[in-house]
Structure 1
Amino acid sequence: MRQWFVLLGLSLLAGSQACAAATPTPSTEDPFPQVAQSYLVELDGERIWHRNTSQRLAPASLTKLMTALLVSEQMAPEALVQVDAAAAKETGSKLGLRSGETWRTHDLLAAALIASANDACRALADQVAGTETAFVQRMNQRAKEMGLRNTRYVNACGHDAPGHYASAEDLRVLALAVMRTPLLATLVAQEQMQITSTNTQRTFVLANKNALIGRYEGTVGIKTGTTPLAGKCLVALVRRGTHSVLLVLLKGKDRWWDAVDILDIALARANTP
């Protein structure tokens, strides 16, 4: 992650220059048309800029926000989860959990949210519902209850798949629900965390894939995602003083550069008399 210190340092300079040269006016709904297929920015709960917020797009690992929310509602943090064979065989971003290992729910939630580990995510889903298919049904039911009209899940962890989609507007609602859940809000704010299996004693050090955490002042969450179909996705929440900025990017391009620039400009607007 050392490279992100350099990247974000340069981004902060670029963002400061952008604030001085081209702060968007209040009437500008889409001042950043090139940053992502879909995005939205809220300042202190008010929508200030947006693009294609209802468009259905692949959400990549932002899917794990719903998985984590459901797990947190149905399992105690200290409850034990046994990794099954299906979870151990998960592909993509993973820790390398072994079938038969047991972990605390808290630690697997940390792995899913901080390190975006698909094997941890799948182990939680299987534990809650017995199978991923049954868990996905619960995900879609919860999405319906939350009024997420442009969200549909096919898997628990965010793999690209036909019919698996979400919108920026729906992810805004989901992200706020996650941040209202104390356990999850604490986890997504961690720069690093160590977890240990309860039976094998294997230990992993989790590094947050959200490069803003610990590097961009005031960032308190929340999640990244990347797949070939989804591109580079991000939900970020920044709090400074009395102000907060929520940013959702779907199918982004230069995710970290653009995020820092947008956040800089939004915060500058908040502090403009």
Structure 2
Amino acid sequence: MRWLALALLLGLASAADPVPVLAQAPAPAAVPVDAYPDVARAYWVEVNGAPVWVGGRELRLPMASLAKLMTALLLAEEATLDEEFAVSAAAARATGSRIGLRAGERMRASDLFDAMLVRSANDACRALADWHGGDLPRFVARMNARAAELGLRDTSFANACGHDAPGQASSVRDLAVLARAAMAQPRIAATVAKTRVVFRSPGGRDFAMDTTNALLQQFEGALGIKTGYTPGAGRCLVAIARRGEDEVLVVMLHAPDRWWDTVALMELAFDHARRARAPAP
């Protein structure tokens, strides 16, 4: 019943749906194993900083809006987010998830930062990239340079927001590293934990948006961090949860049932952590 109740809270199942169950967590291994190959084309489950179950680790795949984590990292590290600026024409034309920015209207960088991470707004993301980088190519060059600095050997960016494009790819290992770097920034950690953002632009327009992360306030211990979807990438997710002294990180690329399977993997991972700590009989 606990699983079904959680699924209903997340809006992912009806009372008539069967309750899917992943296999019992395997015993701890020195090398992470591909214990759940059906959950995603590539996935990574990390417990207290150590990977325990990994599938498709060698694959370089489209990452959809998980790319916004690098955009956010650069902005958190380099930008003054209390500044105002005019939205670029390119940002106003952005496709996909958007909040309806208008070319030339003035916005606060901090508000667009929230919209980019909480609502995954592509127009907010592109506006920030154009503002901070001067133009998109220069910002993307900085993204790739920062990826190299972090040792993301499987990652390359062609745009700031995660649109499908040649050269826009990453691996689950690299995205786990990027997620850790992003969460080390207090501004990012605070933003990805928000379930709703409300603000008024300098010109008096009101904006309100809910998070795209269904785990927040529904899964015990959920902290964030980012969702993504494009036709090429499928449904993607990076999620972190903490319970007591244990922390679990999950990365899913091209996952058919990312919410349901992430919940199951996280529960198994927390159980793994408890069993690993249990004294020998």
Bin for the TM-score computed over the shorter chain: over 0.9
3-state DSSP of counterpart to 1:201: coil
1:153 and 2:157 aligned: yes
One of 12, 34, 38 as aligned partner of 1:34: 38
Within-5 A mapping of 1:30-109: 30-109=34-113
Q: 1:111 & 1:45 partners in 2: Cα distance?
A: 29
3-state DSSP of counterpart to 1:226: strand
Question: 2:74 touches 2:143 (CA, 8 Å); kept in 1?
Answer: yes
3-state DSSP of counterpart to 1:258: helix
1:127 and 2:134 aligned: no
Q: 1:173 & 1:26 partners in 2: Cα distance?
A: 22
Counterpart in 2 of 1:264? 267
Counterpart in 2 of 1:213? 216
Instruction: Note closer, same or farther for the CA distance 1:9–1:107 as it changes in structure 2 (3 Å cut).
Output: farther
Unaligned 5+ runs, structure 1:
none
One of 237, 244, 254 as aligned partner of 1:234: 237
1:113 and 2:126 aligned: no
Q: TM-score, normalised by structure 2?
A: 0.90
Counterpart in 1 of 2:140? 136
Question: 2:8 touches 2:14 (CA, 8 Å); kept in 1?
Answer: no
What is the aligned residue count?
A: 266
Q: 1:203 & 1:126 partners in 2: Cα distance?
A: 23
What amino acid sits opposite 1:7 in the alignment? L
Instruction: Note closer, same or farther for the CA distance 1:14–1:239 as it changes in structure 2 (3 Å cut).
Output: farther
Unaligned 5+ runs, structure 2:
1-6
Question: 1:194 touches 1:203 (CA, 8 Å); kept in 2?
Answer: yes
CA displacement, residues 54-88 of structure 1 (integer Å, 9 cap, x when unaligned):
31100000000001111122212211132011100
3-state DSSP of counterpart to 2:173: helix
CA shift, 1:271, in A, is 2.0
Counterpart in 2 of 1:201? 204
3-state DSSP of counterpart to 1:259: helix
Q: Which has the higher contact order (CA 8 A, sep 6+)?
A: 1
What amino acid sits opposite 1:142 in the alignment? R
Q: 2:57 & 2:112 partners in 1: Cα distance?
A: 31
Question: 2:10 touches 2:215 (CA, 8 Å); kept in 1?
Answer: no
One of 240, 248, 253 as aligned partner of 1:250: 253
Identity over aligned pairs, percent = 47
CA shift, 1:136, in A, is 0.6
3-state DSSP of counterpart to 1:7: coil
3-state DSSP of counterpart to 1:271: helix
Question: 1:94 touches 1:120 (CA, 8 Å); kept in 2?
Answer: yes
More deviation, 69-78/162-171: 69-78
Q: Which has the higher helix share?
A: 1
One of 10, 13, 18 as aligned partner of 1:5: 10
3-state DSSP of counterpart to 1:91: coil
3-state DSSP of counterpart to 2:12: helix
Q: 1:160 & 1:203 partners in 2: Cα distance?
A: 31
